[in-house]
Structure 1
Amino acid sequence: MMKSLMAAAMLLPGAAGMPAAAQNSEQDAGPVGPASQFAMLAELQGEWTVDQTEQLRIVFEVTAGGTTVMERWMVGERTHSLTLYHLDGARLVATHYCPQGNQPRLEAQADGEGGIDFGFASATDLDSSESYQHDLHIAPQADGSVVRSEVYFGPDGPGDPSALILRRAG
């Protein structure tokens, strides 16, 4: 079942208050700076359905005293993967804990479109035969949905971009 979920995602086309870590931050260079990006992620707190499949839910949770946003991909009551977002000095970083066992670390870039673009920085426990998350884009939409897209790289280079449309559950 998980292989079919991952394959389906790869083939697809492309409210919480502001946490303490993002309040009054001197490191925020403007509307798309790291603290504003972190606050945008914190506002995703809650459960989201995925338009492309009924089997997958995505849950965002602000944790660690408001300093970390946790994104859990849930299949039934089982966690499939996990991504943690947090500020690291003057940058916003994400670590993705992949079911393959590797942990790519990504760094946010400024995005003038109101979303967040993350690019690959490094990885731990990455085997040369594994694919790994290389690019991630999270973009809130005017209708309240969120487009979450990503590109995985593997031994043969970049894979096709995938995109999921998330909608608040309930």
Structure 2
Amino acid sequence: MSKHAFPGLAALALSAISAASPAGAGEASPTPAQQQFAWIASLEGQWQVAETDALRIVFEKTARGHTMVERWETATGLHSMTVYHLDGDRVIATHYCPQGNQPRLASLPGQADRIAFRFLDVTDFDEGESHTFTIDYAARADGSVERTEVYRGAEGLEAPSTLTLSRIADATSDEASGG
């Protein structure tokens, strides 16, 4: 199995949380929200988007691993970003949209290979704008990830948009393999 394959969500969460805990601390099993956040953290790195060459998605940890940032990058620079963090029994996603609004979404309890976020509220929302209403992630058997989002506009919910993300090999593993 490659180092970038998606292990089971529970196993990943346990290893991520155990690594952050002092040895023998007797920590309880990770909560569903901790498992979801650990899965998002496992996305750290660069991802190509199968549906377009004009977009690259980068996930990176910040705040000592307590926050994940998802950046959408184009040839002209940063397009948008979404920031993920734990909030009790859920993960919060705040999307920073090019329209200038910032919808917040919360994770729902779910399955080991999916994470669903649903709308909570939105800041700096102006009439006529749309905003992110749902974000869903699904792990695929081949190691890719499906990211689906739905926007809500003046006319209601818009059609879902799904992107297929495939991990881009990092430069250090390319250099080590002579590539």
TM range (shorter): 0.7 to 0.9
Secondary structure, aligned partner of 2:36: helix
**Which structure shows the bigger proportion of residues in strand conformation?**
1
**Which structure shows the bigger proportion of residues in helix conformation?**
2
Q: Distance in 2 between matches of 1:75 and 1:121?
A: 28
Give TM-score scaled by structure 1 length: 0.82
Q: Distance in 1 between matches of 2:18 and 2:65?
A: 6
State, as a whole percentage, how many aligned pairs show the same letter.
Answer: 47
Equivalent in the alignment of 2:16: 18
Equivalent in the alignment of 1:115: 114
Name the CA shift for 1:69/1:150 in 2 (closer, same or farther; >3 Å).
Answer: same
After the TM superposition, which parts of structure 1 deviate over 3 Å for at least 4 consecutive aligned residues? 19-27
Structure 1: tracts of 5 or more residues without a match: 1-14
Indicate whether 1:64 and 2:63 are aligned: yes
Q: Distance in 2 between matches of 1:25 and 1:87?
A: 17
Give TM-score scaled by structure 2 length: 0.78
Structure 2: tracts of 5 or more residues without a match: 5-11, 22-26, 170-179
Check the 8 A contact 1:96/1:105 in 2, yes or no: yes
Equivalent in the alignment of 1:131: 130
Pairing 1:90-101 to 2, within 5 Å after superposition: 90-101=89-100
Secondary structure, aligned partner of 2:43: coil
Q: Which has the higher contact order (CA 8 A, sep 6+)?
A: 1
Aligned CA RMSD, in angstroms, stands at 2.2
The count of residues paired between Structure 1 and Structure 2 equals 152
